[in-house]
Amino acid sequence: MESSSDEEEGRTFIRVLSEKYHPENFPYGQGVVVMPSPPGSPIKDRLFLPSILVLNYCGISKAGERSDIAAFCGHVVELDLSHNQLNDWTEICTIVSSIPHLDFLNLSMNPLSSTQLEPSMADVFSRVRQLILNNTHVSWDTVHTLTQHTPELEELFLCLNDYNTVSESKTSCPSLRLLQITDNQLQDWADVRKFGRMYPSLRTLVLANNSVDSVNDTQETLQRLFPNLRCINLNNSGLTKWEDIARLNLFPKLEEVKAMGIPLLQPYTTHERRSLLLAQLPSVGVLNGGKVSDGEREDAERFFIRYYQGCPEQELPERYHILVSKYGHLAPLAEVDLSPRSTLVDVRYGDRVEAIGLSLEQTVGDLKKHLKTLLQLPTNGIRLFYITREMSQVLGPEELKCGTRALHSYRIQDGDEILVVLKVKSRCSSSDH
C-alpha cells in the first residue's frame, strides 16, 4: 500500500529517469551506458543516458536517492525539468548536487512561489551557466541567492513571473551576460536601472511585453550602469515619447534595438516607423531584427529631414538639426504621377485607319473587345500587332499576344500604330490564302 501512496504523492526524478531511458523505451540511446545500481535501487537494468536529459511533463515532485542520481548522472551537462511538480528547493538541490558538471538547468513551469532557497544549500548550483525559471513565480530573494552562488552564470530567464517590481540584491553578479524578463508587469524605469547595478556585464536585456513607460536616465548614469549593453528589446512596452528612443543612444555600446508594438509608433505607417526609428538611432546596426545597410540609413535620415521640415522650430527634434548639418535642407520630393496615362494611336484595319485614344491601364484582352465593337468585326478572333513609329524600320510589328497583359507594359506612345488582323480558322487556312 505504501508504494502506491508514494506514487500518488508524486514521481521521483530517479524513477522517471529509469523509465524514460530504459532500453525498452530508449533502444537507440546516444550517450553513456550506465550499468545497474546497487540492490534496492529502482534501476534494475543498464540505461542509455545522454549527457542532455529532457524530463519535462513527467510529474516529478521528489528527487529520490542521492546515491542513485550520482551513480547515473556523473556525465550529464544539461537538464530540462520544466513542467513538473517540483515545489521544494531541497528536492531540486538533491538532484543538482548529484550532477557535478551541470551547465544548463531549466525549471520553468514548476510551482516554486512558496519555497525559499537557503543560502547554505545554494553552492550546488555553482557550475550552472544557463538558468531558466520562467513561470515559476520564484521570489526575488531566491533569485539573488542563486546569482550569488553561480559565479559562472551567463544567462538568466525570469519570464511570466508576475513581477511588478524588482527587489535589488546587495551583491552583484558580474558574470551575467543575458537577462530575459519578458511578460512581467514592470513599469518604472527605476526598476530597470537596478539590473544595471546587479548585472554590470549585461550585454542583452529583453524587456518585451512589460509596461516600461520611459527610458529615464542621464548619459552619465547609463554609461555607468550599462557599460556593456549591446542589445535591448522593448517590444510591446509602454514607450510614448521620441525622447525615450533618443535616450537609447546614451548606452555606450548599444548596437541592436527592438521596439515594435509601442504606443509611440501607433500613428505611423510601417515605412515611417522604421525610417523615423532608424534616423534617431545612428549607431544601431540591427533594428527590429533587420540588419541596417548604409543606403537604408541614409534614406531614413533624409526621410527624417523631410518629415520634420515644415514643423515649427520648437517642435523640431534635436536630431533634425544634426541631420540638416550633415545633408543640408532638402528639397521636398517631387510628386511623381505614376497613374496610367492614355495615349493616341492609329488603329489600322485593312484600308481603314482610325485615330483612337487608348487607356494604357487596360489589358490586351480589353482592347480586343473594344476594337471588335468599334470596327464592327465578325465574331471570330482578331490578332493585334503593335508598330512603334520611331523603330518601325528596325523592329517590325510586335504581336500583342497575352490577353491579360496591361498595355502600358508595351511602352506604347502617341503616334504608334496598332494593326488589326482577322484570325484565320486553321482548317481552311490554305484555301483562304
- Please state, in angstroms and as integers, the Cα–Cα distance from residue 386 to each residue in 353, 359, 394, 425, following that order: 14, 15, 13, 22
Alpha helices in 248-400 (DSSP H): 270-280, 294-308, 318-327, 364-375, 392-395
CA distance linking residue 175 with residue 264, whole number of Å: 34
Q: Do domains 10-327 and 342-432 have the same CATH topology?
A: no
> DSSP string covering 134-180, please?
TTS---HHHHHHHHHT-TT--EEE-TTS--SS-PPPSS--TT--EEE
pLDDT digits (tens, 9 = 90+) for 31-89: 555 555 555 565 656 677 889 999 999 999 999 999 989 988 989 999 999 999 999 99
The CATH T-level fold of domain 10-327 is 3.80.10
pLDDT digits (tens, 9 = 90+) for 179-189: 999 999 999 99
Radius of gyration of the chain (CA): 36
**Around Cβ 378, how many Cβ atoms within 10 Å?**
9
Q: Best-predicted range by mean pLDDT among 73-77, 311-315, 334-338, 423-427?
A: 73-77
Instruction: Pick 1 or 276 by higher pLDDT.
Output: 276
User: Which cell numbers in the block locate residue 177?
Assistant: 551576460
pLDDT score of 120 more than 50: yes
Residue 428: its pLDDT value, please?
Answer: 47
CA distance linking residue 261 with residue 240, whole number of Å: 11
- 17 within 8 A of 47, measured Cβ to Cβ: yes
User: Which cell numbers in the block locate residue 191?
Assistant: 526598476
Q: Which residue ranges make up each domain of the chain? A: 10-327, 342-432
CATH tag, 342-432: 3.10.20.90
Instruction: Pick 258 or 360 by higher pLDDT.
Output: 258
pLDDT digits (tens, 9 = 90+) for 337-373: 555 577 888 899 888 888 888 888 888 888 888 888 8
Sheet strand arrangement including 130-132: 52-54, 78-80, 104-106, 130-132, 155-157, 178-180, 204-206, 231-233, 256-258, 286-287, 290-291
